[in-house]
Amino acid sequence: MRKMLNVLYVTTPDAFLAKEGENLIVKVKNEEVFRTPIHYLEGVVTFGYQGASPALLGLCVERGVFVTFLNEHGKFLARVSGPVKGNVLLRRKQYRDADAPQECVKIASRFIMGKVANCRTVIRRYESDHAEKLDNNTEWVRKELAASVVRLSRAGSLGDIRGIEGEMAKNYFSIFDDMILYQKDSFYMHGRSRRPPLDNVNALLSFLYTLLAHEAKSALETVGLDPYVGFLHRDRPGRAGLALDLMEEFRPYLVDRLVLSLINRKQISGDGFIAKESGGVIMKEKERKVVLEAWQRRKREEITHPFLEEKIPLGLLPYAQALLLSRYLRGDLEDYPPFIWK
């Protein structure tokens, strides 16, 4: 259980939520493991399959506390709330800001600032751990990324931001292959490729980015934002633009580091991938299970959130940032603070 910004996150899959008086209680195997007065909460998010009692749901609806159900992997299932109050105002503000060019620039620049800063930290950690393998290009890319953050702060349009982000990504992925230290015959990268991924590394990245996008979408649904209306990724039928915006700052920290670890620690092998006749590369089922297990373990690791200054599992980072984004849109924060790994 984790309470964050007045939202209770129940991360134990077999937990059951119940009511006792004016309290919410959490039970695991019929044993009470947590209790809190309902008036302390504005929302509950539960990852699991046991559910909640009708009495508790009635109390939450009566007191204006939303309850969101996700499966154990973080996929959004349903949200229970009372008469619409704050969410309609929050979404109307989101839509207005999405139609305001300068507000889009401000918010989009924060997402990409977080991404650039975290890419830079991935490189810096590599430099720290493997100083003997450094070359001038690695240092140059790190300095270019630092300069990109300054340029983002001065960006005047979404076109400017996309240009800076595109150049940054090209530079970053130009040295990604240098950070792959082992199994070079099977794992190498000569640039980012999508739809389809053309090598094993790109297949890994694309698979995990897809998982991350689902996490971001669920997080936005949880706080009442519309995941399909973004600020950088503009409206397109079927595309969750805001989820793609939100996940930008997590790509280096949650996905890229995991990919490098899986390869360099030899937790996966080239035998787990298949090159199709079309040129695309996919993972075999066995290898996919290994990656999914590593992803779940990664989400259970903890970090002290740089803005909230409290320890949370990595799997809750998208939910923390979605909450902060909703606070910003409501006017409770002067600016949106992206997640920046230090």
* SS3 state of residue 65: coil
pLDDT at 260: 93
Q: Are residues 112 and 7 in the same domain?
A: no
Q: Are residues 107 and 41 in the same domain?
A: no
* Residues 171 and 145: beta-carbon distance below 8 Å: yes
Domain final residue pick, 60, 83, 106:
83
Q: Are residues 116 and 252 in the same domain?
A: yes
* Residues 275 and 281: beta-carbon distance below 8 Å: yes
* Residues 328 and 335: beta-carbon distance below 8 Å: yes
pLDDT at 80: 84
pLDDT, tens digit, 9 for 90 and up, residues 151-208: 998 999 999 999 999 999 999 998 888 888 889 888 988 888 887 888 899 999 998 9
What domain range is 151 assigned to? 91-330
Mean pLDDT to the nearest integer, 300-317: 91
Flag whether 65 is in a domain: yes
By DSSP bridging, strand 43-47 and strand 31-37 are: unpaired
Higher local confidence (pLDDT), 78 or 134: 78
Looking up residue 320, the CATH number of its domain turns out to be: 1.20.120.920
- List Cα–Cα distances, 42 to 83, 86, 120, 320, in angstroms: 14, 11, 36, 14
Q: Are residues 32 and 166 in the same domain?
A: no
Provide the pLDDT confidence category of residue 93 given band limits of 50, 70 and 90. Answer: very high
Flag whether 7 is in a domain: yes
Flag whether 336 is in a domain: no
Domain final residue pick, 83, 99, 123:
83
Provide the pLDDT confidence category of residue 340 given band limits of 50, 70 and 90. Answer: very high
Q: Are residues 274 and 247 in the same domain?
A: yes
Q: Are residues 49 and 102 in the same domain?
A: no
Domain final residue pick, 47, 65, 83:
83
Q: Are residues 249 and 167 in the same domain?
A: yes
Q: Are residues 299 and 156 in the same domain?
A: yes
* Residues 205 and 192: beta-carbon distance below 8 Å: yes
Average pLDDT, rounded, for the chain: 88
* SS3 state of residue 4: strand
Flag whether 115 is in a domain: yes
By DSSP bridging, strand 66-70 and strand 76-80 are: antiparallel
| Of 234-238, 277-281, 308-312, the least confident | 277-281
Domain count, the chain: 2
pLDDT at 86: 53
Q: Are residues 45 and 151 in the same domain?
A: no
Looking up residue 6, the CATH number of its domain turns out to be: 3.100.10.20
Cα separation of 287 and 188, whole Å? 17
pLDDT, tens digit, 9 for 90 and up, residues 119-134: 999 988 888 777 666 6
Q: Are residues 294 and 227 in the same domain?
A: yes
- List Cα–Cα distances, 84 to 26, 55, 69, 81, 134, in angstroms: 26, 20, 18, 8, 56
**pLDDT beyond 80 at 72:** no
How far is residue 65 CA from its own chain's centroid?
A: 24
Q: How many residues does the chain have?
A: 342
Burial class (CB in 10 A: 0-12, 13-18, 19+), 233: buried
Flag whether 342 is in a domain: no
**pLDDT beyond 70 at 27:** yes
Mean pLDDT to the nearest integer, 45-54: 83
pLDDT at 3: 58
Q: Are residues 46 and 139 in the same domain?
A: no
By DSSP bridging, strand 311-313 and strand 302-304 are: antiparallel
pLDDT at 41: 87
Mean pLDDT to the nearest integer, 248-260: 95
pLDDT at 134: 60
pLDDT at 285: 82
Alpha helices in the chain (DSSP H): 54-63, 86-98, 101-129, 136-153, 158-174, 200-223, 241-247, 257-264, 285-300, 317-330
* Highest mean pLDDT out of 26-35, 101-110, 281-290: 101-110
Flag whether 335 is in a domain: no
* SS3 state of residue 186: coil
Mean pLDDT to the nearest integer, 91-106: 94
Flag whether 72 is in a domain: yes
Return the closest-CA partner of residue 323 out of 302, 303, 311, 307. 307
pTM of the predicted structure, to 2 decimals: 0.79
Tell whether omega for the bond before 196 is within 30 degrees of 0, i.e. cis.
yes
* Highest mean pLDDT out of 51-60, 147-156, 244-253: 244-253
Q: Are residues 55 and 136 in the same domain?
A: no
Flag whether 180 is in a domain: yes
- At 209, give phi and psi (nearest 5°): -60, -35
